Structure 1
Amino acid sequence: MNIENIYHRISLKTGLFLVGFTFLSTGLFAQEEWEKNDGEIEDVEIQIVKDREITLPKANRNFEKIPPSSIVRTQPNLEYFFSNLNLPLPALNIRVRPLRMKDEPLNKLYGNYVKAGFGNYATPYLEGYFSNKRDNQMMYGAHFNFLDSRNGPVDGKNSGSGVMNGNVFGKYFGSKVTASGEVGFDRRRYNFYGYPENQEVDADTLKQNFSVMHIQGYLENTQADAKLSYLAGFQFDYLTDNYEAKESEFQIDLNTGFDIGENTRAEIKSDLDIISQKDVLLDVKTRNIFRVNPTLTFEYGGFLINAGFKAIYENDTLGDSDEVHFYPVAKARYQLPSGFTVFAGIDGDIEKLTLRKLTNENPFLMPNAQAFNTNKTFQLYGGIEGSLSSKMGFRSGISVSTYKNMYYFLNSPLDQSKFMVVYDQGSTSLVNIYGELSYNRNEALRFILRGDYWGYDTDEIQEAYHRPNYKVSAISTYKLYDKFRFEAEAYMLGGIKAFDFNTGEDIDLDAALDLNLKAEYLFSKQFSAFIRLNNLLSNEYEVLYNYPSRGFQVLAGVTYSF
């Protein structure tokens, strides 16, 4: 709003005030005159001028700013005091019931099973395994197996064979000591069917049975990584056959180990064997073997070294007797930058030989076959192992050994269906070259391929009779959709020589080629059916001279787990 407009408003208001005042003054004056003149009205002329202009002087305006007052601000000195306030509060007792999650039920174990089946050659089969489940302190159970073929490859019943064995076992896990024990038996039935073709024989004279009873018990550390470890126990075996052979073996083992430093460990292994044998024409013969083997394991320059010696006393009646033998023992391992591991070592030992071991290798021995220990005077070995990928591994190596009293099998000149045990009391050299390749894909597919070559250089025996020169084996397992399980096995064994007393010549046996297959279908976790196919090529090969093996064999059955 400007000054001129304000001025006009003031002028108008002033004019109206003056006009009103004039009328009021005139009225009052006229009333007085009227009252004086008794109410007579005189002629009066009133003149109103409206164009009058009231002029006001201009006001002076001061535009100077008022200077701020100079105020000095001072910071007051303030002191703060803190004091702890301990307010006693009543105890708060909140009762809350926690929400507990339900434990997930454990999967039921089906470790126990019963198998039953039947196959050609009139072969019944029965097997059972029973044990306790999920016990942190105790494990116990029993196993039974029966497989008997009434007929065989030669003259039906005259070449039948079978096996029946069983055992009861138990193990108790204490806080510091673990105790284990086992009692069992093994019965094997054979027939001497290696007689000449078209020869009339009495079936009762062909029978041979081996019965073995055994009992054992051991005490050892519960913690495997204890600084001081030990193992002590015994084993007793007793063998009889269908003739008059008897053999008892009592063995005591005592092993201990203890840490000397951070990467050094000492071990002492010892055992005592007392072997007694008796037969038709053989008086009681007792052999003793006492072995002490102290070793020291340590690391040096990237090598893991195990070194020591063996001191062995034995009183064998063949060759040197009542003698103490010393053998150096050493083994070193070194890991290469590529991840492979190389190893090498030297060794020597008295290898215990019993009638039970001989009859497991060759059940067709003639009566009065004697067992003598084998002296491995020296062995040098080395090799390499490692992983080619996350699923494939390999191992290969070579060993060179010398032996005294190495044993071999020869057909008897009196009865070709029975075998003699002959010993080379000179020095036998043996070279073994081997290679192994393994493959494992998520436990669904496994495959192992191995090849071995053995080269013998005998001294007092013309050939290494009934010992192979090579063996190639392949084993594979495969699982399909958790319903099918397949197992395949193939092997080839060759280079076996025999001696024919009728012709006086060495015999080269044909290579043994065998292919076996097993398939199993799981109807459920508890019930399945299986079929085994052995010797699919139906090759009646001979590993022992005059003893052809069975041809194609089939065995089918079922399994129930609980």
Structure 2
Amino acid sequence: MKYNFFLFFIIIIVNHNTLSQEVKESEGKIENAQILIEKNKIIVLPDAQKKGDDTIQNINKSINYVSNINSIDLNVRKEKLSIDEIKDYLIDKKTITSYNNNFSLLFGNYKSLLIKSDNYFDFFENLKFDASLYHNSNKIGYTKDDNSGFFDSKISLNSYYTEKFLNSYHNINLNLNYNRIKTFYYGFINENSNEILKEDIDINNNFFGYNISISRGINHDIKQKLFYKIIFNNSNLNSYLYNEYVSIIKAEISFNINNNINSNLTFDNYYRNLKKNNNSIISEDQKRNNMLLNYFFDYKFKNYEIKLGIIYDIDPKLKDHALYPLFEFNYLNQNGYYMNLFLDGGDDTNFYFSRIKENPYLYDTNFEYIDLVEKINYGGLFGVKILNNKGNLKLSYNEKKLSNFFIYGKSKNDIISSNNKDFDIYRYSIFYDSGNVNQKKINLFFDYSKNKLFNSSLIFTYNNYKLNNFSYASNLPKYEIYISNKLKINNFEIIGNITSFIETYSIDSNKNSEKLENYLNINFNINYLLFENTKIILQLNNILDSKNEVYYKYNDLGFNLKFGFIYSLK
């Protein structure tokens, strides 16, 4: 057995550098500006089964494996093997049934560096494994001096195991991930920046997470009735001000009554524990727990699907509970028309997932957990396929009635100590608008794909917030526009994305508002296929795109140009 691991280790070392650098057009979802800019830096956890959270983001397709197990006995030659011989030997013996490795390396101005590596291995027929490595760094952060910059490194390991037991397939998925972020002079302001050394304000944020899911798939051949899935998600944030532990347990049981009707019971428990790491923190350590219990029937017919049930929302610590309706209707016909209507409620625990983890000063020293209570949430989507089914046109509406709505704002005259020095460096904090809040969102989406060589998409969003204690919803633009185009000519692939936020305001602790400049984010990529497995990459974007400022009051730092290559091995 040790030889198996020895050979596998050699394969990892040789083919470790792998990457698939793609720019995917997003079909959906627009969220608030703060989260959008930092979308790649957010702790990604499963949604708490909420509708209407439209967000511009990449859609990552999950990988489902269904297979059987075969035990393998690998005999290793004592003489030295070449790398190609080792690969061929492993594949011939079915120890590794397939592999796909990609590696990318890019350099640019501001001493920017981007490295990404993805590795995919199929062990036997029922064990899959993938590993990824990511590093992104840039000398420039908020200012153009040497004290500004960031480093972001991530490692992720995933395994997928499938076993047939009692005439059905049982799946076990395991994910381990680690993310270290080092920022200096980022996300805050100091009037005496020339007197500050980089070492005085280095901030290291460390994130560790592990996710486990166990599920049983439905075997239609034996008319299996019961399906289950259990997910355990855990993450730990260790930052300059706080240490935060988050644990989510999700469970689902589905019973197939007949070919058209399913009975479903879902459980969602979210636990969070916030501990202070700095003596300047005023608030005490805080623990919160929230549970959502859903029971509904799912009716599936030829052209439509109906979900009907209830949501039971429980807060054990506050000894509070409430009942909400659950309704969803989906319709699709042969002419290309489709629609979706939904109604639900309950605490929106996803609010805590979207905190920007790179900014260690996002919470002020007196921050306290306050649940974002979603009293009712309803909306609909109407769509049609156009241009000979090569395009889609969608219009959606979503309205939420909330309490304890949150906004990001500027915090003034706040002092923090580091290395025995005091700094006036708070840039952003969280403010709450207690009482009932009304949030409305209208989203227009259009995409067109003529063929594999050209496709285009446009997303327009209108946001409206009616607050009680603030004039405007800080960092939530009234209008959002997203445009994406992709063109492929021979060996060239050209991808362009533009994101714009219009009419946005900032808020300070005194409830004073300030209108901000319109935000424009540009991404431009050119890929050239040099060889069968090698591409040359040219990336151009304004520097705000990679990791910089939460966009209001930003300095125009110019453009970041990166040049490099992608190498793929299959």
TM-score over 0.5 (shorter chain):
yes
Supply the distance in 1 between the matched residues of 2:385 and 2:544 (Cα, whole angstroms): 34
Decide whether aligned partners of structure 1 residues 405 and 510 sit closer, same or farther in structure 2, where only a CA change above 3 A counts.
same
Alignment of 1:77-96 (within 5 A): none
Alignment identity in percent? 19
Supply the distance in 2 between the matched residues of 1:547 and 1:470 (Cα, whole angstroms): 19
Q: Aligned partner of 1:207: which letter?
A: D
Equivalent residue for 1:514, pick from 510, 521, 527: 521
Q: Which residue of 2 aligns with 1:447?
A: 456
Q: Which residue of 2 aligns with 1:186?
A: 179
Supply the distance in 1 between the matched residues of 2:378 and 2:463 (Cα, whole angstroms): 15
* Partner deviation per Cα, 1:450-495 (whole Å, 9 max, x = no partner): 11111000012332112111111012223222x2222211111122
Supply the distance in 2 between the matched residues of 1:300 and 1:222 (Cα, whole angstroms): 21
Decide whether aligned partners of structure 1 residues 261 and 187 sit closer, same or farther in structure 2, where only a CA change above 3 A counts.
same
Q: Deviation at 1:371?
A: 3.7
Q: Aligned partner of 2:553: which letter?
A: N
* Partner deviation per Cα, 1:221-260 (whole Å, 9 max, x = no partner): 245866422111311111101x241011122121111211
- Unaligned ranges ≥5, structure 1: 1-104
SS of the equivalent of 1:213 reads strand
Equivalent residue for 1:173, pick from 145, 148, 162: 162
SS of the equivalent of 1:425 reads strand
Q: Aligned partner of 2:267: which letter?
A: S
Tell me whether 1:239 sits opposite 2:237 in the alignment.
yes
Q: Is the 8 A contact 2:306 2:329 kept in 1?
A: yes
Supply the distance in 2 between the matched residues of 1:534 and 1:491 (Cα, whole angstroms): 11
Alignment of 1:516-555 (within 5 A): 516-535=523-542, 543-548=550-555, 550-555=557-562
Supply the distance in 1 between the matched residues of 2:454 and 2:401 (Cα, whole angstroms): 40
More RCO (CA 8 Å, sep 6+): 2
Q: Is the 8 A contact 1:354 1:372 kept in 2?
A: no
* Partner deviation per Cα, 1:355-382 (whole Å, 9 max, x = no partner): 6632248554155444432111112202
Q: Which residue of 1 aligns with 2:340?
A: 343
Q: Is the 8 A contact 1:512 1:541 kept in 2?
A: no
Q: Is the 8 A contact 2:142 2:548 kept in 1?
A: no
Supply the distance in 1 between the matched residues of 2:131 and 2:544 (Cα, whole angstroms): 36
Supply the distance in 1 between the matched residues of 2:409 and 2:259 (Cα, whole angstroms): 54
SS of the equivalent of 2:378 reads strand
TM-score (norm 1): 0.73
Q: Deviation at 1:132?
A: 0.8
Q: Which residue of 1 aligns with 2:499?
A: 491
Equivalent residue for 1:272, pick from 244, 262, 269: 269
Tell me the number of residue pairs that the alignment of Structure 1 and Structure 2 aligns.
Answer: 448
Larger radius of gyration: 1
Q: Deviation at 1:295?
A: 1.1
Q: Which residue of 2 aligns with 1:221?
A: 216
Decide whether aligned partners of structure 1 residues 110 and 236 sit closer, same or farther in structure 2, where only a CA change above 3 A counts.
closer
- Unaligned ranges ≥5, structure 2: 1-91, 415-424
Q: Which residue of 2 aligns with 1:122?
A: 111
Alignment of 1:85-484 (within 5 A): 111-133=100-122, 136-175=125-164, 176-193=169-186, 194-195=188-189, 199-203=193-197, 204-223=199-218, 227-241=225-239, 243-279=240-276, 280=278, 281=281, 282-298=283-299, 303-315=304-316, 321-335=318-332, 338-352=335-349, 357-360=354-357, 364-368=361-365, 369-388=367-386, 389-415=388-414, 417-481=426-490, 483-484=491-492
Supply the distance in 2 between the matched residues of 1:374 and 1:552 (Cα, whole angstroms): 37
Q: Is the 8 A contact 2:170 2:216 kept in 1?
A: yes
Q: Deviation at 1:443?
A: 3.0
Q: Which residue of 2 aligns with 1:54?
A: none
SS of the equivalent of 2:355 reads helix
Q: Is the 8 A contact 1:353 1:374 kept in 2?
A: no
Supply the distance in 2 between the matched residues of 1:554 and 1:145 (Cα, whole angstroms): 19
Decide whether aligned partners of structure 1 residues 420 and 353 sit closer, same or farther in structure 2, where only a CA change above 3 A counts.
farther
Supply the distance in 1 between the matched residues of 2:206 and 2:328 (Cα, whole angstroms): 39
Decide whether aligned partners of structure 1 residues 458 and 486 sit closer, same or farther in structure 2, where only a CA change above 3 A counts.
same
